[in-house]
Amino acid sequence: MTAAIQRRLETPEPQSAERTQLYPELNNAHVRFVGLGKTYDGKQGPVAALHGIDLAIQRGEVFGIIGRSGAGKSSLIRTINRLEQPTSGRVLIDQVDIGEFDEDRLVALRRRIGMIFQHFNLMSAKTVWQNVELPLKVAGVPKEQRDQKVRELLELVGLQAKHKAYPAQLSGGQKQRVGIARALVHDPAILLCDEATSALDPETTQSILGLLREINQRLGLTIILITHEMAVIREICDRVVVLEHGRIVEQGPVWEVFGNPQHEVSKTLLAPLQHALPPELQNRLQPQPRTSDDAVVLRLQFTGTAQAEPDLAALFGALGGRVRLLQGGVERIQGHALGQLLLAVTGSSLSAEDLRQRAGNWAQQAEVLGYVV
């Protein structure tokens, strides 16, 4: 949990006592979707993009949305600033239903919600300074205030020296920094990021994520981000939701979902993060044993706190025979250890299934991957 959420949880907004007791997790929801549905009028008829989405995003949280292409991620976040109009259900911001807003209130709402995009959406004929200044000009902010705000934001994103440059003269990372500065001109309370790092190389992605983290902590912004890069979620998000065909199929703290994904889609999306078998071993792996001397290859996963640091001597002893370590590691997400071991067991008196069950006493998950000679 970020310091910002912690602070705000300690100073809850006034609520009726009854409501507070019934829905403690909703007290502080910054953005809430209630039975949200969205259907587009496509060329070949209606396209149902979202169904019955119920979700509460807390103030100050960095919230991730993942899912395959076409799952409805963009549609969902675009209902928050009403770039998309829901077909059914409601979007509440600070407990206020934004569905009833007239044009004036919508303009005001959109100013309090910044958005950044994969392709930056900068004006190519305007300088860095002018790109950041433009929304302030449109809003009729006087020049002196504009200058101060632009200067302040360019400093925040580390682009003071580039203020006269044009987008074509900038790297991808610098362009996204301009996008971030521009998204912050009206001191938004929420920042929406739709694949904001997807066009960037890994190193630049890291620096942009660092900047987003800083904005989240220093300014207390709620950040809602869509990405197909699971490493981005692992790096920066507090909680994550998995969408599939317009429905929520899984949600929870990142360490929990990443450590022990339940739904097929989550497992598939997260597979690239798992340490794969070395290729030469993968090639030799057989689904069935050919001789009784074949080694059983086991994958063990450890999630949480106590379980993530298993007693290896006890585990190996329980498996019997010779246990070789093929691969292993422990990483930490949000302070929770997530571990994985790939083991090859030979000469045990236990069957593969018995080995799996024994291993399951130490690990959250144990599976037999196959057999090697």
Ligand X SMILES: Nc1ncnc2c1ncn2[C@@H]1O[C@H](COP(=O)(O)OP(=O)(O)O)[C@@H](O)[C@H]1O
Applying CB under 6 A, which residues contact ligand X?
40, 42, 47, 49, 67, 69-75
Residue number, 74 or 266, with CB nearest to Mg ion? 74
In the list ligand X, Mg ion, none, the entry touching 72 (Cβ below 5 to 8 angstroms by class) is: ligand X
Residue number, 74 or 79, with CB nearest to Mg ion? 74
Interatomic CA distance for residues 79 and 109, integer angstroms: 12
Name the E strands within the chain: 29-42, 45-58, 62-67, 88-93, 96-97, 113-117, 190-194, 222-226, 239-244, 247-253, 295-302, 322-333, 336-346, 365-372
Place of tokens 């998995």: 242
- 210, amino acid identity: G
Contact 342, 299 (CB under 8 A): yes
Residue number, 67 or 173, with CB nearest to ligand X? 67
In the list ligand X, Mg ion, none, the entry touching 316 (Cβ below 5 to 8 angstroms by class) is: none
In the list Mg ion, ligand X, none, the entry touching 173 (Cβ below 5 to 8 angstroms by class) is: none
Contact 196, 175 (CB under 8 A): no
In the list Mg ion, ligand X, none, the entry touching 124 (Cβ below 5 to 8 angstroms by class) is: none
Q: How far is the CB of 194 from Mg ion (least distance, A)?
A: 6
Residue number, 74 or 348, with CB nearest to Mg ion? 74
Strand pairing partners for 296?
345, 371
Q: How far is the CB of 73 from ligand X (least distance, A)?
A: 3
Task: Name the strands in the sheet holding 190-194, side by side, starting at the edge strand that comes first in the sequence.
Answer: 113-117, 190-194, 222-226, 62-67, 239-244, 247-253
Q: How far is the CB of 65 from ligand X (least distance, A)?
A: 8
Phi then psi for residue 110, to 5 deg, are: -65, -30
Q: How far is the CB of 73 from Mg ion (least distance, A)?
A: 5
Q: How far is the CB of 72 from ligand X (least distance, A)?
A: 4
Residue number, 153 or 265, with CB nearest to Mg ion? 265
Which residues, other chains included, contact 115 with Cβ-Cβ below 8 Å and sequence gap of 6+?
Answer: 81, 183, 191, 192, 193, 194
Structure tokens that stand for 368 in this block: 């037999």
In the list ligand X, Mg ion, none, the entry touching 75 (Cβ below 5 to 8 angstroms by class) is: ligand X
Interatomic CA distance for residues 248 and 66, integer angstroms: 10
Structure tokens that stand for 101 in this block: 């807003």
* Listed residue (157, 48, 136, 29) closest to 92, CA to CA: 29
Q: Which stretches of the chain bind Mg ion, using CB under 5 A?
A: 74
Residue number, 228 or 263, with CB nearest to Mg ion? 228
Interatomic CA distance for residues 250 and 266, integer angstroms: 8
Buried b (16+ CB within 10 A) or exposed e, 323-342: beebeeeebebeebbbbbbb
Residue number, 192 or 363, with CB nearest to Mg ion? 192
Residue number, 71 or 156, with CB nearest to ligand X? 71
Q: How far is the CB of 339 from ligand X (least distance, A)?
A: 31
Q: How far is the CB of 47 from ligand X (least distance, A)?
A: 4
Q: How far is the CB of 314 from ligand X (least distance, A)?
A: 45
Q: How far is the CB of 74 from Mg ion (least distance, A)?
A: 3
In the list Mg ion, ligand X, none, the entry touching 47 (Cβ below 5 to 8 angstroms by class) is: ligand X
Distances (CA, A) of 273 to 107, 120, 121, 233, 331: 41, 27, 30, 11, 11
Structure tokens that stand for 81 in this block: 């600033």
Residue number, 119 or 336, with CB nearest to Mg ion? 119
